[in-house]
């Protein structure tokens, strides 16, 4: 009953917001320009791309600022950003949704039926519904990069090397190379982690490290090849990719953090997330790079119930299932893979991600400063790409200034 009352209040608040006069194109651009300029001046990020879509057309698509605060290179619309955890929905969850349709999977099946390495572990009873909605009791994250050194400060055997070889083939940086079996160590560590308080919401990214294996088990294809075949290539997303340095120069890619603890250099063109980097850069947790114009078609497809430019990529009922509440009778606000709006406002009266977004809306944020959100009721979506972690992840003004919520408010109000 409490959940129903909250949902009613949420909907009433929404109807009030809808009475606010809409923004003209000029007003929308002025508000966005002013907000992003303020964010840059207050070091929320050195630059950004913003794309707003409503009622069947792009209302605003602009690039702002520079790659870094030295202002040497301006951001343009072609530049690629590290999407961070947005990879979870525009990579991993999309792949799972497609496999869900192809192999008639059931959301309440146990994941260990498809990931043999989890059989006989404390995770053998976890279901897809539990793990995709962060209801499975798995730990949030492991700092794998803290385990590569021995007591003398040297690299452990089977971790990293300063020389590339058959044993250490994959670059972590230009000077460090990953052992060919290191990804298996990561999986073994995750398998040994405790499972606690099943049924209570706790955000965890660890399931997504199994997504490449899951995709391989069912399709025989790697995660990146599967996504290319069923989504990115047919939708002509030429700037949506893992491992961007294979096809693009560094000047086309926005740098992220000056990593003083692990890689001891500016992370530029390689995934910012340390664990995803140690997995080789193709990971379900993070690793995708893209620009706003290549993110937008995927969001448009989701908004249009699986259809993009006359081609059906997913079924409407699949999208409804994954973007709806996974546990509507509980306080878990999550969908399956997708984030959903908060039901209750914070102490300051705000509600993530916006007071104006509808209960049917969904999306995800990324640690590097990325944010995507789709609102079917308002027939709109927002793409914000930034590198808020430059030069350090301690920069949090993207959050403190409420930039993401304000941008979402603006596109919802646009005419």
Which domains are present in the chain?
2-108+210-413 (3.40.710.10)
Of 110, 112, 132, 109, which Cα lies nearest the Cα of 121?
112
* CA atoms of 292 and 387, how far apart (whole Å): 13
Q: Using CA atoms in the order 223, 353, 396, 386, what is the torsion angle rounded to 10 degrees?
A: 50
Residue 89: Cβ within 10 Å count: 27
* C-alpha torsion sign, points 104, 105, 108, 113: positive
Q: What's this model's pTM, rounded to 2 decimal places?
A: 0.94
Within 8 A by CB and 6+ apart from 277, the residues are: 172, 263, 270, 271
Within 8 A by CB and 6+ apart from 126, the residues are: 110, 111, 112, 118, 136, 138, 195, 198
- Ramachandran region, residue 337 (left: φ > 0; alpha: ψ -120 to 50; beta: rest): left
pLDDT tens string, the chain, 415 residues long: the values are 445 444 445 554 544 444 446 999 999 999 999 999 999 999 999 999 999 999 999 999 999 999 999 999 999 999 999 999 999 999 999 999 999 999 999 999 999 999 999 999 999 999 999 999 999 999 999 998 888 888 888 899 899 999 999 999 999 999 999 999 999 999 999 999 999 999 999 999 999 999 999 999 999 999 999 999 999 999 999 999 999 999 999 999 999 999 998 999 999 999 999 999 999 999 999 999 999 999 999 999 999 999 999 999 999 999 999 999 999 999 999 999 999 999 888 888 889 999 999 999 999 999 999 999 999 999 999 999 999 999 999 999 999 999 999 999 999 999 9
- Ramachandran region, residue 55 (left: φ > 0; alpha: ψ -120 to 50; beta: rest): left
* CA atoms of 98 and 75, how far apart (whole Å): 34
């Amino acid at each position: 009953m409490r959940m129903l009352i909250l949902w009613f209040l949420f909907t009433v608040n929404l109807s009030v917001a809808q009475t606010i006069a809409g923004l003209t194109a000029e007003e929308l651009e002025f508000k966005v320009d002013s907000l992003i300029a303020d964010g840059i001046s207050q070091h929320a990020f050195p630059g950004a791309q913003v794309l707003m879509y409503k009622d069947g057309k792009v209302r605003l698509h602009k690039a702002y600022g520079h790659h870094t605060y030295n202002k040497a290179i301006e951001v343009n619309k072609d530049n690629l950003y590290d999407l961070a955890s947005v990879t979870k929905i525009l990579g991993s969850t999309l792949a799972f949704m497609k496999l869900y349709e192809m192999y008639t999977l059931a959301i309440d099946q146990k994941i260990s039926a498809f990931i043999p390495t989890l059989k006989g572990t404390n995770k053998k009873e976890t279901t897809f519904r539990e793990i995709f909605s962060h209801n499975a009791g798995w730990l949030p994250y492991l700092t794998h990069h803290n385990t590569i050194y021995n007591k003398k400060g040297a690299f452990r055997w089977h971790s990293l090397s300063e020389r590339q070889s058959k044993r250490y083939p994959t670059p972590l940086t230009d000077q460090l190379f990953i052992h060919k079996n290191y990804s298996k160590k990561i999986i073994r560590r995750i398998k040994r982690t405790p499972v606690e308080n099943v049924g209570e919401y706790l955000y965890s990214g660890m399931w997504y490290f199994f997504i490449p294996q899951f995709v391989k088990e069912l399709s025989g294809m790697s995660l990146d090849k599967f996504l290319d075949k069923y989504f990115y290539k047919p939708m002509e997303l030429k700037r949506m990719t893992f491992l961007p340095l294979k096809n693009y120069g560094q000047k086309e890619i926005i740098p992220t953090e000056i990593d003083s603890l692990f890689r001891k250099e500016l992370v530029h063109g390689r995934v910012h997330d340390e664990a995803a980097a140690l997995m080789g850069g193709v990971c379900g947790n993070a690793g995708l790079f893209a620009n706003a114009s290549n993110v937008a078609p995927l969001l448009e497809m989701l908004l249009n119930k699986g259809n993009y430019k006359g081609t059906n990529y997913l079924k409407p009922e699949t999208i409804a299932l994954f973007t709806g509440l996974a546990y509507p009778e509980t306080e878990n606000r999550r969908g399956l893979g997708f984030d959903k709006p908060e039901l209750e406002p914070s102490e300051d009266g705000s509600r993530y991600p916006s007071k104006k977004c509808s209960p049917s809306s969904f999306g995800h944020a990324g640690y590097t400063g990325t944010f995507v959100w789709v609102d079917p009721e308002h027939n709109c979506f927002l793409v914000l790409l930034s590198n808020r972690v430059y030069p350090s992840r301690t920069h949090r003004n993207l959050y403190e200034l409420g930039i993401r919520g304000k941008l979402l408010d603006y596109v919802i109000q646009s005419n």
